[in-house]
Amino acid sequence: MIARARPAWWLGAAVLLAVLPWVPGLQSDFGRSLLSQMGIAAIFALSYNLLLGQTGLLSFGHAVYFGLGGYVSAHFMRAINAGLPVPIALVPVAGALAGLAFGIAFGALTTRRGGTIFALISLGVGELVHATSLMLPSFFGGEEGVTASRTKAPHPLGLDFGSQLQVYYVIAAWLLVAALLMHAFMRTPVGRLCNAVRDNPERVEFIGYNPQRVRFIVFSIAAAFAGLAGGLHAINYEIVAAEALSATRSGEVLLMVYIGGVHHFMGAILGAAAITWLQVSLSDYTTAWLLYLGLLFMGIVAFVPGGLAGLVTMHLAALRTRALAAIARAYAAALPVALLASAGAITLIEIAYRRSTQPEAGTRMKLFWIPMDTAKPWPWLAAAALLAVGAAALLRLWPRVSRAWASAGEELHGRG
Amino acid sequence: MREIVAFSLLNGAVYGLLLFMLSSGLTLIFSMMGVLNFAHASVFMLGAYFSWQISRWIGFWPALVVAPLLCGLIGAAIERYGLRGVHRQGHVAEILFTFGLAYVIGELVIMGWGRNPIENRVPAVIDFAAFRVFGTSYPFYKVLMTLISVGMFTFLYLAFKRTRVGLVIQAALTHPQMVGALGHDVPRLFVLVFAIGSALAGLAGVIGGFALLTEPNMAAALGPIVFVVVVVGGLGSIPGAFVASMLIGIVQTFAVAVDYSLMDLLRTLGASVPASPFLREVVSVKLAQAAPMIPYLLLVLVLIVRPRGLMGTRET
């Protein structure tokens, strides 16, 4: 269940969003652009979590509504460029309405069932819309997509969108509004019914509600917020292309929400920020970043069903127990060997990637400040040995960690 | 015209058989465990890469045996060491696990063989003309593909209907709890089914790799279509998968060869052509352009109208 919203909490969030672009390190155009992307991703992920986390609907085509919202917004912006007297900051409303309209149209057909059937239909609709987008260039702009300008428009309140900072503040304001609305929606009776449909659809039907209707309503609303995020995407990049509604983007938002944690409202925001940051920064360091992302995702699915948000709440709860010291000691013992194993794995992955994807860069490379030659056997052997020793030691130390957590769990449950 | 029909039929059937090899394994896995296995097409891709690599080392014929076996082992390992642990968290977690696995296998293929397509040519030993139709020679490797997939269909069918393990698997498709209660080791059966399904996907990869482009994206391109086949054919039905594969293979191949659009149809019927430029664009899309959409249209329609599929015994 979603907790009641505390005004102080939202005020804190607003202050945080206002201060973020002035934090050292984020004070550049690059940092503010990163924050803007995070904000868009956060709205998109929150809308996806209405489906996956709150209603238990696994969609493989949520980007359809993000992309269509983006396209409609881009066309709306072009109309503004041509003289329509509407401020650019209101463009996402057009995106949200488009998302809502398409959500209602597609949702009426696709939300009759939940579970695997819904997942498969969403996949099919996603592929259909993507294929259509390449066939109808007059609306979708073909391969290049649709471009529009965010500066050629009326400038109320001095908002001329000349700087990334202004774009960021508009995105942040929309993020706050969207998060508030979605949070409020989950506290309405329909929102609570969503959780019931997720947990036990048969029983919902039994007490006289129609799960199909609930799924349809939440689907349309999620599509509207996805469209809103798409509108912000159009403002931020001034271009929308077929990639915005592709299966790749649908998969991305699934990764964000699941890694962030599906059981927690903050999870989607956390996941969106983390994955966007990884996309932007990790891709500078390594070409293998998608592999690391995939491994992280699989690790979370297999071992941490609560995601990052689940980890955070788990540790916050443990702070209040006496087992804290034991947990800290177990971590301190496990951390070095975990780092050792990761170093081995990363080295193996990096040299293999260098050999196969950048043969033109030669066989000599530097990793962790150590020069090595991928044509020689020793880097491979050393990395494999590191990985094997580290993994073996980690397997031996892991029972200590789980014992410490077990005693913390007992203490928490004992208290009730 | 007759030439086009004959070639479209032949090529469509070969493509359909390839789809069938992929989907027969997936339909077993899907109906038995309820897992929408996103990594299935990735194993197919691994089969293609393995066969190319092994062919370079020891020749094509050994590769035809070794690569599917390797894929089968990988499948067994995925189920035994991956999915089994995720199983108790429910279906969504299982689906997501295979979804992540598909990402990771795609990246591992890049790590092993690079981002560009490999030159996976038809091996010289099977690259000759089998017979001639309409003055054009028909390659032997396509005949081989047909033979192997038909052989596999027969093998699967007999194994299912005539062997003890086959009967137990059939029972486990619909009543896994009951089969477990009768003392059969259902988890081991899962591993077996996963291994067989993956080996079949690997085999499809070996003989389908050079018919398609062998590149890290091939799994993502083919994966959704295999889902379509499984759903359209019906869960747990090997004959259904066969019919659906042939249907999709032939329809798609024909559609590519047809250069007509709705506009042509309207003109032939003497109807008026829509005036608005957007509608004009919609109706002037040629069927050949729309060919990639056909399987997904079929998927959505089947799921909405008849979720059991053509020959399925129960709903998805």
Suggest the residue from A120, A346, A348 to mutate for an interface test with chain B (most B CBs closer than 10 A).
A120
Taking the Cβ of residue B101 and every Cβ of chain A, the question of whether any pair is shorter than 8 Å is answered with yes
Whether B43 and B198 have beta carbons less than 8 Å apart is answered as yes
CB contact under 8 A, A110 and B100: no
Q: Mean pLDDT over all residues of chain B?
A: 82
Suggest the residue from B36, B91, B99, B279 to mutate for an interface test with chain A (most A CBs closer than 10 A).
B99
- DSSP characters over A25-86: TS-SHHHHHHHHHHHHHHHHHHHHHIIIIIH----S-THHHHHHHHHHHHHHHHHHHTT---
CB contact under 8 A, B281 and A115: no
CB contact under 8 A, A125 and B231: no
Q: What is the DSSP letter of B300?
A: H
Report the residue of chain B nearest A351, measured CA to CA: B111
Q: Mean pLDDT over all residues of chain A?
A: 86
Beta bridge partners of B261: B286
pLDDT of residue B116: 78
CATH topology of domain A7-286: ABC transporter involved in vitamin B12 uptake, BtuC (1.10.3470)
Inter-axis angle of helices B294-305 and A115-135, to 10 degrees? 150
CB-based contacts of A89, cutoff 8 Å, min separation 6: A159, A170, A173
- As a whole number of Å, the end-to-end CA separation of chain B is 40
Quote the tokens at residue A245. 């509604």
pLDDT of residue A307: 86
- For residue B114, list chain A residues with Cβ-Cβ distance below 8 A: 356-357, 359
Q: Is the pLDDT of residue A362 over 50?
A: yes
CB contact under 8 A, A302 and B85: yes
Q: Lowest-confidence range among A127-136, A340-349, B26-35, B144-153? A: B26-35
A356: nearest CB among B100, B104, B112: B112
CB contact under 8 A, A247 and B220: yes
**ipTM score of the complex?**
0.86
CB pairs under 8 A between A and B: 130
Q: Is the pLDDT of residue B233 over 90?
A: no
- For residue A132, list chain B residues with Cβ-Cβ distance below 8 A: 293
Q: Is the pLDDT of residue A416 over 50?
A: no
pLDDT of residue B77: 92
Which of the four pLDDT bands, split at 50, 70 and 90, describes residue A216? very high
pLDDT in tens, B91-129: 788 888 999 999 899 989 888 887 777 777 777 767 777
Taking the Cβ of residue B77 and every Cβ of chain A, the question of whether any pair is shorter than 8 Å is answered with no
CB contact under 8 A, B278 and A138: yes
pLDDT in tens, A280-333: 888 777 778 888 888 888 988 888 888 888 888 888 877 777 777 777 888 887
CB contact under 8 A, B95 and A119: yes
Percent of chain B with pLDDT over 70: 95
Whether B196 and B72 have beta carbons less than 8 Å apart is answered as yes
**Could you tell me the CA-to-CA distances from B124 to B52, B127, B128 in Å, in that order?**
13, 5, 8
Report the residue of chain A nearest B96, measured CA to CA: A301
Cα dihedral A270, A272, A274, A277 sign:
negative
pLDDT in tens, B246-286: 998 888 888 877 777 777 777 777 777 666 777 777 777 77
Taking the Cβ of residue B115 and every Cβ of chain A, the question of whether any pair is shorter than 8 Å is answered with yes
* Domains of chain B with bracketed CATH: 2-305 (1.10.3470)
Identify the helix (H) or strand (E) that includes residue A390: helix A377-415
Q: Is the pLDDT of residue B315 over 60?
A: no
Q: Is the pLDDT of residue A229 over 90?
A: yes
Which of the four pLDDT bands, split at 50, 70 and 90, describes residue B71? very high
Q: Is the pLDDT of residue A277 over 80?
A: yes
pLDDT in tens, A42-90: 999 999 999 998 898 999 999 999 999 999 999 999 998 888 888 888 8
- DSSP characters over A320-369: TSTTHHHHHHHHHHHHHHHHHHHHHHHHHHHHHHHHHH-GGG-SEEEETT
CB contact under 8 A, B96 and A120: no
**Could you tell me the CA-to-CA distances from B315 to A68, B48, B232, B236, B245 in Å, in that order?**
31, 33, 11, 10, 19
What is the least distance, in Å, from the CA of A12 to any CA of chain B? 34
Q: Is the pLDDT of residue A275 over 70?
A: yes
A125: nearest CB among B101, B285, B300: B300
Percent of chain A with pLDDT over 90: 31
Taking the Cβ of residue B282 and every Cβ of chain A, the question of whether any pair is shorter than 8 Å is answered with yes
CA–CA separation, A35 and A164 (whole Å): 10
Q: Lowest-confidence range among A94-103, A226-235, B50-59? A: B50-59
CB contact under 8 A, A136 and B307: no
- The average pLDDT across A224-232 equals 95
Report the residue of chain B nearest A247, measured CA to CA: B220
pLDDT of residue B62: 84
Q: What is the DSSP letter of B135?
A: T
CB contact under 8 A, B97 and A123: no
**CA within 13 Å, CB half, B153:** 23
Centroid of chain to Cα A246: 15
- The average pLDDT across A91-96 equals 93
pLDDT of residue A1: 52
Domain boundaries, chain A: 7-286, 319-415
pLDDT of residue A15: 87
CA–CA separation, A25 and A28 (whole Å): 7
pLDDT in tens, B147-204: 888 888 888 888 888 888 888 888 887 777 888 888 888 888 888 888 988 998 998 8
CB contact under 8 A, A352 and B36: no
pLDDT of residue B313: 65
- The average pLDDT across A138-157 equals 82
